[in-house]
């Protein structure tokens, strides 16, 4: 079975590594230039990353750049809520992706040739999957130095219109904002001086109902494995890659692979629909109290998986 992986970000480089290591005839494609700095806060839960990398010969601890002690949350009132870390760190994502690709066959082009399976790991562009109703927010991120030491911070904009973040990264910081309002992004970043500016949209709508088309199968942000409330997409996208790898190792029949993958994805990520519903109804001020318990459960699980020891009482105070 010949497999092409289009897009070699977090999900594609991980899948290509797993397939190549297991002896599959797999080839990767990504036209991005060497040294291209992917817009991302580079934050992930070190426990989840360690689990994911246990299927490779790479040691996640060697990629960590900053570890959080506390994570500071605030909203419009600027009242600060502090939570303990459950493993959130920033890491050298570019070096990890380059190392994952070291033993793999790939080229800096778009896909050429014919394949039994074409994996769409092209992130927000979703290049090979059908166009469907989508929801994205625009983001701008600065790489900068700050005089005063800062913790990991999230500051939510009014009515679910996005958030501003500061993530320490070695001796620098990632300071960024994602929002449906450009004014929010601009005003929150105004106090900072960028050494580098990067920008792209982030998909916040789960598209798990549209993850394949013919011999194309999607993973990662292409299918919306991004938390609608935190924008966390690295670990979820790598998890989706692992689920496709599992389905491919279980069968060599395309339809069976697609069926198995779909049920694994639904089981792992269905809660993103609850979180997306929370986000959209928060934006429209149509939150229904009867859904509160499921919103709280899904939010708590989501934030804990990102590596933040979020307490229900805090979620209640902040979001309801
Ligand atoms: C500003 C910002 C900050 C973020 N911060 C965090 C964070 O701190 N933690 C976190 O967990 N998540 C974060 N995310 C989300 C996270 O970065 C993504 O969800 C995750 O990296 C998605 O991985 P992916 O492999 O699906 O896609 P990507 O990593 O986006 O990779 C897609 C790849 O496809 C390639 N490509 C595009 N078109 C084609 C084509 N036609 N052919 C071949 N290749 C193609 C691109 O060059 C790219 O390399 C952030 C997102 C943004 C925008």
For residue range 182-214, list pLDDT tens digits in order.
Answer: 999 999 999 999 999 999 999 999 999 999 999
Which protein residue has the closest C-alpha to ligand 1 atom 39?
122
Amino acid 35: pLDDT: 85
pLDDT tens by residue, 127-177: 999 999 999 999 999 999 999 999 999 999 999 999 999 999 999 999 999
Domain locations in the chain? Answer: 2-319
Which protein residue has the closest C-alpha to ligand 1 atom 51?
40
9 lines ligand 1 (CB under 6 A): yes
Length of the chain: 320
Starting at the edge strand found earlier in the chain, the sheet holding 88-91 runs: 43-45, 88-91, 64-67
**Residue 312 above 80 pLDDT?**
no
Starting at the edge strand found earlier in the chain, the sheet holding 25-29 runs: 106-107, 25-29, 2-6, 117-120, 216-218, 212-213
pLDDT tens by residue, 260-282: 999 999 999 999 999 999 999 98
Amino acid 37: pLDDT: 85
Which whole number is the average pLDDT over 279-293?
Answer: 89
Average pLDDT, the chain: 95
Least confident of 81-90, 247-256, 284-293: 284-293
CA 24/CA 2 separation, integer angstroms: 8
Amino acid 36: pLDDT: 87
Written as six digits, the tokens of 26 are 């797999």
96 lines ligand 1 (CB under 6 A): no
Q: How far does residue 169's CA lie from ligand 1's centre (Å)? A: 18
CATH topology for 2-319?
FAD/NAD(P)-binding domain (3.50.50)
Considering the chain, what percentage of its residues have pLDDT values greater than 90? Answer: 88
> Among 4, 8, 9, which residue has the most ligand 1 atoms within 8 Å of its CB, making it the best to mutate?
9
Amino acid 316: pLDDT: 61
The confidence band for 253, taking pLDDT boundaries of 50, 70 and 90, is very high
Amino acid 99: pLDDT: 98
pLDDT tens by residue, 6-50: 999 999 999 999 999 999 999 999 999 988 888 999 999 999 999
CB 101 within 8 A of CB 16: yes
Nearest to 204 by CA among 272, 297, 114, 104: 272
CA 86/CA 20 separation, integer angstroms: 32
Q: How far does residue 39's CA lie from ligand 1's centre (Å)? A: 8
**Residue 224 above 70 pLDDT?**
yes
pLDDT tens by residue, 228-243: 999 999 999 999 999 9
Amino acid 77: pLDDT: 78
Amino acid 75: pLDDT: 87
pLDDT tens by residue, 44-100: 999 999 999 999 999 999 999 999 999 999 987 778 899 999 999 999 999 999 999
Specify the ligand 1 atom closest to the Cα of 93: 21
125 lines ligand 1 (CB under 6 A): yes
> Among 126, 234, 243, 245, which residue has the most ligand 1 atoms within 8 Å of its CB, making it the best to mutate?
234
Q: How far does residue 287's CA lie from ligand 1's centre (Å)? A: 30
Which protein residue has the closest C-alpha to ligand 1 atom 21?
234
> Among 5, 7, 12, 174, which residue has the most ligand 1 atoms within 8 Å of its CB, making it the best to mutate?
7
112 lines ligand 1 (CB under 6 A): no
Q: Would you tell me how many other CB atoms lie within 10 Å of the CB of residue 253?
A: 11
Amino acid 314: pLDDT: 65
202 lines ligand 1 (CB under 6 A): yes
Q: For 15-41, b where at least 16 C-beta lie within 10 A, e where not — what string?
A: bbbbbbbeebebbbbbeeeeeeeebbb
CB 42 within 8 A of CB 174: yes
8-state DSSP, 66: E
Amino acid 318: pLDDT: 54
């Amino acid at each position: 079975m010949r497999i092409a992986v289009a897009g070699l970000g977090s999900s594609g480089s991980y899948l290509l590594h797993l397939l190549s290591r297991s002896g599959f005839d797999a080839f990767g494609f990504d036209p991005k230039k060497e040294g291209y700095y992917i817009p991302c806060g580079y934050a992930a839960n070190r426990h989840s990353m360690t689990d994911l990398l246990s299927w490779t010969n790479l040691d996640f601890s060697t990629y960590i750049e900053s570890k959080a002690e506390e994570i500071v949350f605030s909203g419009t009132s600027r009242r600060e809520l502090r939570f303990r870390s459950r493993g959130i760190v920033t890491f050298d994502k570019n070096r990890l992706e380059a190392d994952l690709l070291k033993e793999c066959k790939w080229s800096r082009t778009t896909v050429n040739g014919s394949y039994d399976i074409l994996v769409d790991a092209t992130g927000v562009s979703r290049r090979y999957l059908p166009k469907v109703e989508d929801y994205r927010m625009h983001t701008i991120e600065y790489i900068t130095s700050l005089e005063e030491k800062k913790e990991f911070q999230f500051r939510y904009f009014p009515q679910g219109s996005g958030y501003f973040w500061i993530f320490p990264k070695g001796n620098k910081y990632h300071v960024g904002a994602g929002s449906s309002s450009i004014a929010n992004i601009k005003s929150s970043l105004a106090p900072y001086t960028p050494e580098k500016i990067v920008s792209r949209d982030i998909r916040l709508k789960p598209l798990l109902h549209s993850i394949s088309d013919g011999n194309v199968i999607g993973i990662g942000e292409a299918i919306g494995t991004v938390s609608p409330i935190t924008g966390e997409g690295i670990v979820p996208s790598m998890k989706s890659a692992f689920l496709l790898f599992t389905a491919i190792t279980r069968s060599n029949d395309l339809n069976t692979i697609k069926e198995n993958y779909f049920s694994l994805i639904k089981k792992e990520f269905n809660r993103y629909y609850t979180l997306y519903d929370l986000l959209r109804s928060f934006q429209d001020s149509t939150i229904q109290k009867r859904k509160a318990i499921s919103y709280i459960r899904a939010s708590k699980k989501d934030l804990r998986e990102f590596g933040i020891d979020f307490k229900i009482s805090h979620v209640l105070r902040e979001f309801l």
